[in-house]
Amino acid sequence: MKKDRFVPKEELLRQEEIANALSSYWKEQGKTPLAMVITYGCQQNENDSERIRGMLSQMGYGFTENKEEADLILFNTCAVREGAEQRVLGNVGALKHLKKRNPELIVGICGCMMQQQQVAEQIKSKYRHVSLVFGTHVVHRLPELLSETVMKKRRVFCTDDSEGVIAEDIPILREADCKAWVSVMYGCNNFCTYCIVPYVRGRERSRKPEKILAEIKILAERGVKEITLLGQNVNSYGKDADFGMDFADLLREVNKIDGIFRIRFMTSHPKDMSDRLIDAMAECDKVMPQLHLPFQAGSTRVLSEMNRKYTKEQYLALVEKVRAKLGAISMTSDIIVGFPGETEEDFQETLDVLEKVRFDSVFSFIYSKRTGTPAATMDNQVPEEVQHERFERLLELQNRISREINEEYFEKTVELLVEGASKTDSGVLSGRTPEGKIVNFPDDGETKTGDLITVKITKVSTWSLAGEKIG
Ligand code: SAH
Ligand code: SF4
Ligand code: F3S
């Protein structure tokens, strides 16, 4: 890997100094400014937002969930589907009035959408109330960019087109206390023909193993029990470098860290799911029995048009191999419906994979045209009604399968890592099984976030399980 992919220490120190200067500026003003960070998209973006909050805190900011009292509203955006982009533009547009009432308010947009030059340009010319825009490759420069907006009252736009960098040791304010996301690599080299991610996240670049392991050790000392290793395609970890370590080796090292109980990872690309990794999963006691292995489409012809580099048969054989070595682990997948040229027969192949594999759950998406990707200009786009109709049939089938799998949990005893209060019910706590299933149970007043407990399942539904604590 090229050396200049690592942001030099001096540059990070420079950012830290600017952050401290802004913090002093606020102190002099006798003010604790409040920031609201709104995140769209995948865990990678959530993880970036945690870093953004870390830097904001260093710059003297507190946090709010209330737009009316915010001094800074920052949207960390996702570009993967058009729907996600429209939602952001709608929400940013709606802030125009608030900005009129409160001219000191800074509205900012960052993340994957801003790596697309045409979108950043559109914001510059049509969303005049937005005064801070930056892309995914310059997140570590937030202190400099925000200071310029605050102190010089300038509109600041910073999107660079490089292949991306790795910035280490940036302050981070994490969302949860018992579990944490840890990025092991950034970017993607796969260029699936429908996907914008390689264009907005740059080339694959792996963090040094010693940096990853040091981060996890610190988390373990702080009481974090579960780690999810993140990357667009974790199985190609290390291929861009000469660490002498691949993802399987990394997993074995993480497994040795005391205090961590559970390890998960995502996402795995089927073409890179090596025997070494399956063996590591089998041998590492803390690696949970769960695998997210997106297949995207069942038809081998469509898979080839998507540039996925495997056939339907190879995918099914891989699932069999995984199950033969790892037993009845929980499996999940991503699926795209209505890719250009998808016929009814092709779609039937997708349903066939669902029937054969019986995933615990799937994330299914209607194909969305992304400007700049090869699939956007394919001339056989599937009409919207057909896409929707296929999508509904897919959901119906998967809901039945998910429910049948969940029903097998009825009256079973499971181990849960308690994650905290349920998002929907008061007086109810929520935790996850080793397979990653959410279980709600009544709060007995004694159970704490991060506890490992035993629960008997008393109720099952398509989406979740409910139970009673028995130990
Ligand atoms: N790197 C991961 C996932 C990245 S994006 C992987 O390869 O599996 C998450 C999911 O969004 C993808 O798996 C795919 O199912 C979906 N997706 C990506 N581009 C899309 C598009 N243009 N339209 C619809 N869904 C898309
Ligand atoms: Fe997109 Fe394919 Fe890369 Fe996943 S592997 S991020 S779907 S290009
Ligand atoms: Fe979206 Fe960017 Fe993640 S496009 S899916 S937030 S990498």
Q: What is the pLDDT of residues 165-214, one digit of tens each?
A: 999 999 999 987 899 999 999 999 999 999 999 999 999 999 999 999 99
382 in Cβ contact with 348 (< 8 Å): no
pLDDT in tens, 250-308: 999 999 999 999 999 999 999 999 999 999 999 999 999 999 999 999 999 999 999 99
Query: Strand, helix or coil at 96?
Result: helix
Q: 439-442: long-range contacts (C-beta < 8 A, 24 or more apart)?
A: 439/414, 439/464, 439/465, 439/466, 439/467, 440/464, 440/465, 440/466, 440/467, 441/416, 441/466, 441/467, 441/468, 441/469, 442/468, 442/469
Q: Do you find a cis peptide bond into 267, omega within 30 degrees of 0?
A: yes
Give residue 88 CA to ligand 3 midpoint distance, Å: 13
Ligand 3 proximity of 197 Cβ (cutoff 6 Å): yes
> pLDDT tens digits for 84-96?
999 999 999 999 9
pLDDT value of residue 424? 77
Q: Give the pLDDT score at 2.
A: 54
443 phi and psi angles, rounded to 5 deg:
-75, 120
The closest-lying atom of ligand 2 relative to the alpha carbon of residue 269 is 5
For the chain, domains (ranges, CATH) are 3-158 (3.40.50.280), 413-469 (2.40.50.140)
C-alpha span between 119 and 85 (Å, rounded): 10
What is the predicted pLDDT for the residue at 160? Answer: 81
pLDDT at 109 exceeding the cut of 80 = yes
Using CA atoms, how far apart are residues 414 and 421, in angstroms rounded to an integer?
19
**Percent of the chain scored above 90 by pLDDT?**
95
SS3 at position 76: strand
pTM reported for the whole predicted model? 0.96
pLDDT confidence band for 1 (50 / 70 / 90): very low
Q: Which of 326, 327, 229 is nearest to 279 (CA)?
A: 326
Q: Tell me what the mean pLDDT of segment 365-373 comes to.
A: 97
What's the number of CA atoms in the CB half-sphere (13 Å) around residue 241? Answer: 23
On average, the pLDDT of the chain sits at 96
Ligand 1, CB cutoff 6 Å, lining residues: 80-81, 194-195, 197, 232-233, 267, 269, 294, 296, 334, 336, 365, 367-368, 370
Mean pLDDT of 369-395: 97
Q: Quick one: how far is CA 69 from the chain centroid? A: 28
The finding on whether 373 has its CB within 6 A of some atom of ligand 2 is no
User: Given this model, what pLDDT does residue 4 score?
Assistant: 72
pLDDT digits (tens, 9 = 90+) for 39-86: 999 999 999 999 999 999 999 999 999 999 999 999 999 999 999 999
Tell me the CA–centroid distance for residue 188 and ligand 2, in Å: 6
| Ligand 3 atom closest to Cα of residue 41 | 6
Is residue 458 very low, low, confident or very high in pLDDT (cuts 50, 70, 90)?
A: very high
Cα 459 to ligand 3 centroid, rounded to whole Å: 35
- Banded pLDDT at 425 (limits 50, 70, 90): confident
For the CA of 363, the nearest atom of ligand 1: 15
Q: How confident is the model at residue 410 (pLDDT cuts 50, 70, 90)?
A: very high
> 403-408: long-range contacts at Cβ-Cβ below 8 A with a sequence spacing of 24 or more?
403/460, 403/461, 403/462, 404/358, 405/358, 405/360, 406/437, 406/460, 406/461, 406/462, 406/465, 407/460
The answer to whether the CB of 417 falls within 8 A of the CB of 450 is yes
How far apart, in whole angstroms, are the C-alpha atoms of residue 60 and residue 375? 45
The reply to whether ligand 3 has any atom less than 6 angstroms from the CB of 42 is yes
Share of the chain above pLDDT 70, in %: 99
